[in-house]
Each structure stands twice: as structure tokens, then as C-alpha cells.
Chain A
Amino acid sequence: MSQGSRPRPGTPRPQRRPAQRAGSSRRRVRARRGTSLLRLRVGFVLIAMVVSVFAARLFQLQGIDAQAYVAKARAEGVVTVTLPATRGSITDRNGVALADSVDGLMLVADPTVTAEHASRIATIIARRLHLDYFDLLSRLSKPGTHFQYLARRVPATRARAVVAAIERHGFKGIDTRRDPVRSYPAKDVAANILGFMNAENQAGEGAELMFDRRLAGRDGRATYEVGGGNRIPLGDTSTVQPHSGRNLELTIDRDVQWYTQRVLRQAVQGSRGLSGSAVVMDTHTGELLALADYPTFDANQPALSPKRDLGSRALRDVYEPGSVEKVLTASALIDAGKVTPNTKITVPSELPRGDRVIHDYFVHGKLHLTLTGVIAKSSNIGTVLAASQFSHRRLYDYLRAFGLGRRTGIGVHGETAGVLHDWRDWSQINQDTIAFGQGVAVNAVQMAAAVNAIANGGVYVSPSLVKGRATTSGGEVVGSATSTEHRVVSRRAARLTARMMEAVTNPETGTAGVAGVAGYRVAGKTGTAQRVGSKCHCYNGTFTVSFAGFAPADKPRFLVYVVVQDPKNGGGGGSIGGPAFHKIMSYLLEKYAVPPTGTKAPTPTIEW
């Protein structure tokens, strides 16, 4: 076995071979061991170096300026969009929208791109959106700018259609941006109450402003990652849901409001008056079915009207009510038991009081009128004589109870309280003039509510413009649900006063025969008051004419009050306010299906 290297014949080879192989590899490993260890160490050091570079980088990224990188990453793929809250709509009492929010867009152009094809683009836009071609042309080709408004507040569908059409023609440079549209479908109807939204989409006036907090809602926000315009699933998202604004329901009936506005406009224009207001009130609930003002404005285009026309005159302007106020005095006198409708009053042709002389609007000699006659003929002197049975305080208390000199709290921005001076400051002449409606100032709604107390059986109901209840931006809770009632005069006094008022619409006895509605018993009262001019703060020879009335007189449903300021056709409350009252009242009776009561008005005793 000395030559172990040579295989012996007959010996199985496989037995030795592995041994031999093992022996040689062992030898090889032993030979390499030194260098391999070195290599391992070198390798380890290298790896350690690389890993520490990574670690350093990691620390830099995560530890030192992590926020900056997060922000950078966000900016790259994360999108934050505002989820706009839908502004609540304003509806009438039947749920018909008076103000509605519509998804809208504005069209903007980059004139540096559009200038080339300005005329053709302008043609497309002008045709589709009914805009002025030349105006568009100059905007589309305006030099030195990258941004021009073309159209604001375009309903989204129409705006997208226009952009699509422009792109179809192969033109570029027109883009859209969000621009919510507040639409007032009935245009000028109830605009005086609703107000408007200005170009910056902020509430400008009226209910929009007064209930802005309720209507506006709260915008939401969505943050998510996008890739190629699509949201990346499982990506970082966070959503704050928007809170839509709440709707506001008014007590207004749109159709009645429209009709009242048209009748009022005709009355004001027909008499060449300065302005006018009309109030339609539900007798029992105090809800206003219509509150019209003229001149008014189109709520869609408030900028076209002067600023003074943008509010509600019926609540902001004060004026002296004149003779309509006599019915308050008369009912108070009856309630106090001082007079009856048949009390005989001798009315001289003029009445000296202190240093002043009181006249009637019509020239007459000595008249023998009953109290009914005084109301029917609207005699100042007769009223003064009857009212002189009151102390200052008594009359003042009654008028306060009728709501004079106090805001109605109806929920309209800038409502006036009217003027009713404290009784301690009155002199005799003050009481005398206040008794027939001069020297006291009211707004139209206040006066309507006061007369309504007589229609409502002597119970004053505070008027309301908002159905249910709503909180104004000032934190005041208003609405028909918060309406209050209190008795002013007895039921009997109210009924007797209503009967006296029927004599007014009686063509034979009263000052406003035209106001009556055939087949119905109608109670009313005319008013023609001297008006204080805005310049001299004195009676300047102009007048305020008005008519207040309710029907059916023995079971009232509606109260209508029409006021026209400064008519120039020489008309009075009967000839100007009467026909308007007649039209509005007959419309109401028909629309709300109020049949005549079937009773006959007693023949009034005017004289004795």
C-alpha cells in the first residue's frame, strides 16, 4: 500500500475516491484560509460602510427634515379640494323656490392664446350665452394679460357645453372655474325681502344677509392622493364632509306677492308717485302673504338698480300714517267706553287748538256727524273732539299696545321702530294730531299689524315673515312659531270699529267706494297724510296716501294695506289706494276660496 496513489485492481474505486477528494479540498481550504478571512473582514467593513451611509441618509430623511419631505411629497401627488356647501334655498310658503343655488362656472380666457382666433371664439360664446360679441372680442384679444373674465355665474351645464364646443373647433385658452350661481327664478318678485348675493358671492341684503349663517352652511375639505387624475386607492385620504346650509321658508305666497307687486307698481306709476308699499297679512296668524315695494329690483341683477331700491321700504322707511290711524283711536275710545259708533259729534268747519287751527281735508260748514260719520268722512276735527276725552297717557298706552313706536321684530335687517314720543312729552296739540295720524310715524308693516288687531277681534298678532322659526345672524329667533298675541281692545270694540269701517267702502257714505268687492262686506279706511320732505324736514306740501282694509268684514281673513308716497296726480287714499286694495283683496278672496259670508252690512248712520 506504499503506492497509495495507484488503485489496486479489484478494490472498489468509489471507496477511495471520496477520501482522496476530501483530502485534496481540505488541503485547498487550509491553503486559502488566511486570505479568505481577510476578504471577509474587508467585505464586512465595506458592507458596514454602505449600511452606515444608508443609515445616515435615513436619519437625515426621517429625523432631520422629515416635515419638509412630507410636504414635498404632498405637493407632488396629494390634492386638497374644497367640498363646497350648498347654500340653502329660500322658498315661499308652498315650497316654491324664490332663491336657489345652482352649480355654476365662470368662463375665463388667456388672451395670449385666444387672441389669434378671438373673433371665432367670441362668436361661439356670444351665440350660446347671449353675450355681447364686441365685448367678448375685446376681452379675448386684450394684450399684456393672461387672465380675463368672459362670463360669470354661468350654469355649469351651459358653461361646459360652450367649452366643449370651443374645443371641438380646436381652439384653446378658455377655461372654467367654480362660481356658484344664486338664482332668483321669479326675478323681481319678493326681491325686496330676499335681498341678493353680490359678485363676490356674499350676501348683500334682505333675508340672504339676515339669515346668512343659517343659509350658508360650512364648506368641507377632501385630501387625497392622485395619479393621472384618478384617486389612488388605499392612498392617504381624509375627508371633512360639508354641511349644507339649511333652507328658509317664508310666509310669502309667490303668486300673491307677484300680483301685489304688479298692482302696486300700477298704482304708484298711475299716480306718478315716488314710491309705494303694500302689505298682505293673514288676519289670524299675522303671517305676511305679500310684502311689496316699488320701486324694487331684479335680484339676479342688483347692480342695475340704485342702492336705495335694494331694501324693503315697507320696513325701513317711516312716514306719518294719517287718517288710517283714526280707526285705532276710535276703537280705543269705544273700548274705553268713551264713545259708541252713534255718538253725536258736532263738527265745526275749523277747530282752533292752542296756537294752531285744525282743518278737515274737505271744506265744510258745521256738520252733525256720528262717530261712524267721522270715520266714513275721515274728519280730523271730529276725531280730535272725540279723542280729547282721553288723557295723554291713555291714548299713548293704547297706541303702544297696537305696536306703534316699537319694532315688530319680523327679522328684516334695518327695521325701523317708527316714532311715538313718550306721553310725558306731549302737549295738547300733539295728542290732537296723533289721534288722526300726524305727529306719529310708522313703517308699513307696523301699521298693517295695528289695523289687523281690529280685524282679529281686538287681538294684536305680531307679524311674521319667516315660517316656523329661524335664528338671524344677530342671534334673534324670529318666525311665525315665535309670534305673540295680546289683546288691545275688546272683541265688541273691534267689531263695532269694523262696522264703522264698512261705511268707508260704502259708495254712498264713504271716501273709498271703489275699494269694495261686489258681494262681500269689506271694511277699510283711507289715509291722506302730509308728508315730511327729506330736504327741509318739514311738511313740504307732498302727501302720503294709503288704504287699509280687511274682508270679509264680519269674519276677516286678510288684511291689505297699500301706501303710496308723494303721488302727483292729486289723488287721495281712496282714489289711489282704493283700487289697488280692491284688486289685491279680490285676488286673495278668489285664490284662497273665501266665499262671501252672506250677511248684509247694516246701513250706517252718518249724520244726525
Chain B
Amino acid sequence: MSTQLFGAGSRMPRIAEAAVERARLTVVPRARRRTPRVPFVALLSLLLVGGVAGLLLLNTTMQQTSFTATSLEARATSLEAQQQGLQMDVDSLRDPQRVALQARRMGMVPETTPAFIRLGDGAVLGKALPATGADAIRLNPLPTVKPKNLRSRTIRVIEKNPDVRGAASPDALTATGTKNSQNR
């Protein structure tokens, strides 16, 4: 090996020998530094696991949200229905007919001669007359009259001979009794 090198050196000027000797190039040995595999594999598996887990998580969350949405929607519907139900109750309580019946029960009658007090000077405008029962209006409809064939008929059974009140008469009595109570 060294002979070969000297052979090459012989073609060079002797003066530069030292410099040549100094600048002699050698082949850099191939860097056989092996990149450590572990971090790369770890990164890859981390990415993979992370991705899968993330995807799973996302999916689960979305599914969960969907469950929540469904249940919230159901709740909204039922609350809305409840609100409407309560509104219906309020409306029926505010029904003027109901208010009027309540007022009548408290002994009130509508006023039919309106009069006002002018707050400025306390003057009474109109004729202030007390309301009386004559001013009341009928709040409920008149009871419907039953057709003649449905009206109850009172059947009087006159027992001529009270002595023979035997086995048959209690039946007859209960029969009329029931009829009367039904017809009332």
C-alpha cells in the first residue's frame, strides 16, 4: 500500500511533498452510524395508536352527542307540551265564564250605570247608582227541557188492602222507589 502511495508521490515535485503529505486525502469511512430505530417505531406506533384512539374518541363523542341531542330533543318536546298544557290551564282559568261564576258566588253583580270619579277635583261623572240583583245576567244556559216521552212519570200505587202486604208487595215498593230516584 505504501509503495503505491510513494509511487504516486514520486510524480509530484519534491518541494510540495510535505504539503502533500499534510493534505493527503483519505477516503472517509462510510458512516455506518445506524439511526436508532426505537424512537421512529415509537413515533409511528404513537401516531397510529393516537390516530385510532382519537378517531374512536371522536366517534364516541359524536355518538354521545347524538344521544344527548336525542334526549334533549325529547325533553324539549315534553317541556313544550307541558308549557302548552299549563297555558291551557291558565286559559281555562281566565275564561270569562269561570270568572263570572266565581264572582257571582262571591255575591257580585255587574254594574249597569257606570259612573266615574275625576281625580282632579273629585267630581263624580255620571249617576252613581248601586248595582242590584236585577242587574244580574243569567250566566248558565237554561236547563234543556226533556222531550215529553222522556219526562218522568210518577206512578202512584195505591194499595187498597194494606192487610195483604204479602210477598209480592215489597218488590213493588222497591221498584217504584228505584224509579223515583232515577227520575229525579
Q: Which residues of A contact B (CB under 8 A)?
A: 96-97, 100, 102-103, 155-158, 160, 183, 185-187, 189, 229-234, 254-255, 258-259, 262-263, 265-266, 269, 517-520, 582-583, 586-587, 589-590, 593-596, 598
Report if B115 contacts A (CB, 8 A).
yes
Contact of A160 among B81, B125, B129 (CB under 8 A): B81
From residue 90 to 129 of chain B, which have CB atoms closer than 8 A to chain A?
A: 91-92, 94-97, 100, 110-116, 118, 125-127, 129
Distance (whole angstroms) from the CB of B139 to the closest CB of chain A: 6
Report if B78 contacts A (CB, 8 A).
yes
Residues of A within 8 A of B97 (CB): 186-187, 189, 258
Report if B138 contacts A (CB, 8 A).
yes
Do residues B129 and A230 form an inter-chain contact, with CB atoms below 8 A? no
Give 7 CB contacts A-B under 8 Å.
A183-B88, A232-B66, A262-B137, A263-B137, A517-B113, A517-B114, A595-B126
Contact of A590 among B96, B114, B118 (CB under 8 A): B114
- The listed residue with most A CB atoms (<10 A of its CB), out of B69, B112, B138, is B112
Contact of B96 among A189, A586, A595 (CB under 8 A): A189
Report if B87 contacts A (CB, 8 A).
yes
Distance (whole angstroms) from the CB of B171 to the closest CB of chain A: 27
Residues of B within 8 A of A259 (CB): 96, 110, 137
State in angstroms the CA–CA spacing of A187 and B87 once bound together. 15
Distance (whole angstroms) from the CB of B55 to the closest CB of chain A: 12
Distance (whole angstroms) from the CB of B70 to the closest CB of chain A: 5
Contact of A102 among B84, B116, B139 (CB under 8 A): B84
Do residues A231 and B114 form an inter-chain contact, with CB atoms below 8 A? no
Do residues A97 and B112 form an inter-chain contact, with CB atoms below 8 A? no
Contact of A230 among B67, B110, B115, B139 (CB under 8 A): B67
Distance (whole angstroms) from the CB of A527 to the closest CB of chain B: 23
State in angstroms the CA–CA spacing of A171 and B170 once bound together. 46
- Range, interface on chain B: 35 or more
Do residues B81 and A157 form an inter-chain contact, with CB atoms below 8 A? yes
Contact of B63 among A185, A233, A517, A583 (CB under 8 A): A233
Residues of B within 8 A of A102 (CB): 84-85, 87-88
A187-B97, A262-B138 given; A155·B62 CB < 8 A:
no
- The listed residue with most B CB atoms (<10 A of its CB), out of A187, A590, A598, is A590
- The listed residue with most A CB atoms (<10 A of its CB), out of B70, B87, B113, is B113
Distance (whole angstroms) from the CB of B24 to the closest CB of chain A: 29
Do residues B66 and A231 form an inter-chain contact, with CB atoms below 8 A? yes
> Which 5 A-B pairs give the minimum distances between C-beta atoms?
A185-B91, A519-B126, A590-B114, A156-B81, A519-B127
Report if B180 contacts A (CB, 8 A).
no
Q: Which residues of B contact A (CB under 8 A)?
A: 62-63, 65-67, 69-70, 77-78, 80-82, 84-85, 87-88, 91-92, 94-97, 100, 110-116, 118, 125-127, 129, 135, 137-139, 141-142
Contact of B95 among A185, A229, A234 (CB under 8 A): A185
State in angstroms the CA–CA spacing of A293 and B126 once bound together. 31
A157-B85, A519-B113 given; A183·B70 CB < 8 A:
no
State in angstroms the CA–CA spacing of A203 and B126 once bound together. 46
A185-B91, A185-B92, A189-B96 given; A158·B114 CB < 8 A:
no
State in angstroms the CA–CA spacing of A233 and B116 once bound together. 67
Residues of B within 8 A of A155 (CB): 81, 84-85, 88
State in angstroms the CA–CA spacing of A232 and B65 once bound together. 10
Do residues B111 and A258 form an inter-chain contact, with CB atoms below 8 A? no
A263-B137, A595-B116 given; A590·B111 CB < 8 A:
yes
- The listed residue with most A CB atoms (<10 A of its CB), out of B88, B111, B138, B142, is B88
Distance (whole angstroms) from the CB of A445 to the closest CB of chain B: 23
- The listed residue with most A CB atoms (<10 A of its CB), out of B67, B81, B125, is B81
State in angstroms the CA–CA spacing of A266 and B110 once bound together. 14
Do residues B138 and A518 form an inter-chain contact, with CB atoms below 8 A? no
Residues of B within 8 A of A183 (CB): 88, 91
Do residues B127 and A185 form an inter-chain contact, with CB atoms below 8 A? no
Do residues A266 and B137 form an inter-chain contact, with CB atoms below 8 A? yes
Distance (whole angstroms) from the CB of B85 to the closest CB of chain A: 4
A103-B81, A262-B137 given; A596·B126 CB < 8 A:
yes
Residues of A within 8 A of B115 (CB): 519
Residues of B within 8 A of A263 (CB): 137
Do residues B125 and A185 form an inter-chain contact, with CB atoms below 8 A? no
Do residues A598 and B125 form an inter-chain contact, with CB atoms below 8 A? yes
Residues of A within 8 A of B84 (CB): 102-103, 155-157
Do residues A520 and B126 form an inter-chain contact, with CB atoms below 8 A? yes
Residues of A within 8 A of B112 (CB): 517, 582-583, 586-587
A102-B85, A583-B112 given; A233·B126 CB < 8 A:
no
Do residues A185 and B137 form an inter-chain contact, with CB atoms below 8 A? no
- The listed residue with most B CB atoms (<10 A of its CB), out of A269, A517, A518, is A518
- The listed residue with most A CB atoms (<10 A of its CB), out of B87, B95, B137, is B137
State in angstroms the CA–CA spacing of A590 and B135 once bound together. 14
Do residues A266 and B85 form an inter-chain contact, with CB atoms below 8 A? no
Residues of B within 8 A of A233 (CB): 62-63, 65-66
Distance (whole angstroms) from the CB of B7 to the closest CB of chain A: 28
Contact of B138 among A103, A266, A517 (CB under 8 A): A266
Residues of B within 8 A of A586 (CB): 111-114
Extra A-B contacts (5), CB below 8 Å, given A158-B85, A262-B100: A102-B84, A186-B96, A189-B97, A233-B65, A595-B118
Residues of B within 8 A of A269 (CB): 138, 141-142
Residues of B within 8 A of A103 (CB): 77, 80-81, 84
What residue in chain A is nearest B62 (Cβ atoms)?
A233
Residues of B within 8 A of A234 (CB): 62
Contact of B125 among A517, A582, A595 (CB under 8 A): A595
State in angstroms the CA–CA spacing of A155 and B97 once bound together. 22
What residue in chain B is nearest A516 (Cβ atoms)?
B113
Residues of A within 8 A of B69 (CB): 231
State in angstroms the CA–CA spacing of A258 and B97 once bound together. 8
Do residues B110 and A583 form an inter-chain contact, with CB atoms below 8 A? yes
Contact of A100 among B87, B95, B125 (CB under 8 A): B87
Distance (whole angstroms) from the CB of A103 to the closest CB of chain B: 5
Distance (whole angstroms) from the CB of B14 to the closest CB of chain A: 40
State in angstroms the CA–CA spacing of A102 and B87 once bound together. 9
A233-B63, A234-B62, A519-B127 given; A262·B139 CB < 8 A:
yes
Residues of B within 8 A of A230 (CB): 63, 66-67, 70
Distance (whole angstroms) from the CB of A593 to the closest CB of chain B: 7
State in angstroms the CA–CA spacing of A97 and B118 once bound together. 34
Residues of A within 8 A of B88 (CB): 100, 102, 155, 183, 185
- The listed residue with most B CB atoms (<10 A of its CB), out of A100, A186, A234, is A186
Distance (whole angstroms) from the CB of A179 to the closest CB of chain B: 13
Residues of B within 8 A of A258 (CB): 96-97, 100
State in angstroms the CA–CA spacing of A590 and B110 once bound together. 10
